[in-house]
Amino acid sequence: LFPTLFSPLQVGDVTLKNRIFSSGHDTVMVHDGAVTDQLVEYHRARAAGGAGLIVMQVAGIHETARYTYHVLMATDDSCIEGYRRVADAVHEHGCALFGQVFHPGREIMESQDGALPVAYAPSAVPNERFRVMPRPMSQAMIAEVVAGYAAGARRLRQAGLDGVEIVASHGYLPAQFLNPELNLRTDQYGGDLDNRMRFLREIIAAVREAVGSGFAVGVRVSGIEHSSVEDEPTDIVEVCRRLDADGLLDFLNVTEGTSASRSGSMHIVPPMSEEAAYTAPAAAKIKAAVSIPVLVAGRINQPQEAEIVVAKGQADACAMTRALICDPDMPAKALAERPDDIRACIGCNQACIGHFQSGYPISCIQRPETGREREFGTLVLTPKPTDVMVVGGGPAGMKAAVVAAQRGHRVTLYEASGRVGGQVLLAERLPGRSEFGGAATNLQSELDRYGVIVKTRVEVDAAMITAERPDHVIIATGATPYRPHLELDGDMPVLEAWDVIGANGGNTPKGEIVVADWRGDWTGLGVAEMLAREGRKVTLCVNGYAAGENLQQFTRVSMLRAATEAKVRIVPHARLFGADDDTVYLVNTLTGEPIILDGIDGLVLALGHQQNDTLLADVESTGIPFTGVGDCLAPRTVEEAVLDGLRAAAAV
């Protein structure tokens, strides 16, 4: 099915068995700057699943490169052993392994405890992501950092890796030298393009000298920076053309964006609002200008899309990083011509980059086994198959049913509505969120594949459980919208956000609408945009400091951008108090002052939800062993619900 994708690719002296790779991404599976067992197993799983190349996450090459609390470091020889363990694990499966050598320049988080270094950059131009003012680098420091890149690359080679990638993408240090808006130097490292390229060229030359031949050396660049100024400040195609002409590189790896892009840094891990393979045209431009292989990354989450990119010659290989986080066996399934068995990444960003930004190991909302390979990496078949009854067909119940069936149990899932999927079926109806529905579609096809019997439109109670007498019951009855006490007087229509989304806004009056948001998740922001796009004047009143404050940063940026384009007015620090005929009353949570909104035609409540736990309480009386999972325990994210389902089924 995918002839080009599964053809080998020569990168310098390294032969990749196929064109699918995992690009460098932070995992938070690092301890004291070193590789952990968890990281070894994480990469082993992706290599075993058939990836042709894994590019390991960035490794700091100088003490001033320690840009987060959990960055891998390659500043001394102690790193070699950890890298060697990953290389051995990956090579066992015929997968090549490259590392990344890295300096963030001004892109350093502000240190809360003095553990992170002062930021350095070509010039004192502040960073827009962390709002840090860097110190300009002296020429002596430039030489020290260049030597650090070379030493780091030499250590990767000693550890048995196959290549190294110099990170000049996403506005990190080499990109800061290239960009005339950030590089204001008047010495030989600033000014015209050759001068601005000098730093990167010195790095490449030093790295090549340190690693010699037989080891791939490449550079990662942002093909488009999406600069917030009108024109792209860096002519990256010309930079690549000149680097290729220098003859020291084996490959280029193209992505997009920087921390200072329009709409913020979301291109670093583009959310689902960006189109599949949207970076391929930028890669194609660079490919047309150079002679060496060009790799590309950016929302390529299905082998069908990757095949098109490589077959059209836009790039020679595709990073499918989140696709591999979501389903490490994706390449093997594609090669076996079983694309329907692939659990496709939906670009939600919640548990991969979302976890990184929260400072804990990455995972996947659809596959909580990711990052937990040592605990759940191997499916343990049950020695004693039993009858398992799952009540509730949301993500928690579906995952529990799938895993219990995979383990060999006989599983029946009961769903009260006409369709399994739970809240995912609502989330997918929101503008720009249709891909979210893939989470339900993927679980639905896994239910079919593993032989789970699904019965819809069945309300299960304790009497039915007693009559059926399963060996174990998993209760996943979900939640209902939460409505606190409100002073509601008069005849203003008051609707629950879930009902509005379920009706695609068709049940909501025209005119002026207030959406009251308490959770700061996708519900309030999404329903506000949905109603505004249909021509209503919408005011979103949020209880916190900003709309979508509990969303992953890049998803929040894209949803906020869409809501702003739809002209949603946002009022922060506003707690709903009540409403009458045409007025909504709120309280400013900072000042205690009333906020009175007149002339309102309808009020939509996005005030969270509460557990539907009646059956959980009743099931005890049956004497049958049971486990509660998901929203019926307490309001859960999809990720928490799916993890609950996995844990419950692993224990049956």
Residues that bind ligand SF4 (CB under 6 A): 322, 325-326, 345-352, 364-366
CA distance 221 to 139: 24
d(CA 631, CA 422) in angstroms, rounded, equals 10
Smallest distance, Å, CB 344 to ligand SF4? 8
Which positions ≥6 away from 350 have C-beta within 8 Å? 365, 552, 555, 637, 638, 639
CA neighbor of 524 nearest in space, from 554, 553, 506, 544:
544
Residue with Cβ nearer ligand SF4 (442 or 627)? 442
In single-letter form, the type of residue at position 534 comes to E
CA–CA distance, 325 with 277 (Å, rounded to integer): 17
Cα separation, 90 vs 87, in Å, equals 5
Q: How far is the CB of 354 from ligand SF4 (least distance, A)?
A: 7
Nearby residues of 243 by Cβ (< 8 Å), 6 or more positions away? 197, 200, 201, 204, 219, 249, 252, 290
Q: Is 258 helix (H, G, I), strand (E, B) or coil?
A: strand
Please, which residues have CB within 8 angstroms of residue 503's CB and are 6 or more apart in sequence? none
Q: Considering the complex, state which of residue 122 and residue 630 has its C-beta at the smaller distance from ligand SF4.
A: 630
Between 363 and 412, CB nearer to ligand SF4: 363
Residue 586, helix vs strand vs coil: strand
Tell me how far, at minimum, the Cβ of 323 lies from ligand SF4, in Å: 8
Kindly state the smallest distance separating residue 430's Cβ from ligand SF4, in Å: 16
Give the C-alpha separation, 527 to 523, whole Å. Answer: 6
What distances in angstroms separate CA 459 from CA 477, 480, 635, one per listed residue? 10, 15, 21
Amino acid present at 298: G
CB 295 within 8 A of CB 319: yes
Measured CA to CA, the distance from residue 501 to residue 605 in angstroms comes to 11
For residue 90, the surrounding DSSP H or E stretch is: helix 79-91
Q: Give me the torsion for CA of 50, 53, 57, 61, rounded to 10°.
A: 150
Neighbours of 389 (CB within 10 A): 23
Least CB distance to ligand SF4 at residue 191 (A)? 41
Least Å from the CB of residue 322 to ligand SF4: 4
For residue 255, the cross-strand partners are 222
Between strands 96-102 and 53-60, the pairing is: parallel
* Cβ–Cβ < 8 Å for 60, 75: yes
Q: Do the beta carbons of residue 303 and residue 51 sit within 8 Å?
A: no
CB 344 within 8 A of CB 438: yes
- Least distance from ligand SF4 to the Cβ atom of residue 55, Å: 17
| CA–CA gap between residue 520 and residue 523 (Å, rounded) | 8
Q: Tokens for 330, please give them.
A: 């994706």
Determine the 3-state secondary structure of 468 from DSSP. Answer: helix
E strand segments, 416-549: 453-456, 472-475, 479-481, 487-488, 494-496, 512-517, 537-542
* 4, 307 Cβ separation under 8 angstroms: yes
Q: Report how far residue 598's alpha carbon sits from residue 259's, in angstroms, rounded to the nearest whole number.
A: 40
- Two structure tokens written together for 70: 């959990």
Residue 21 C-beta: closest distance to ligand SF4, Å: 16
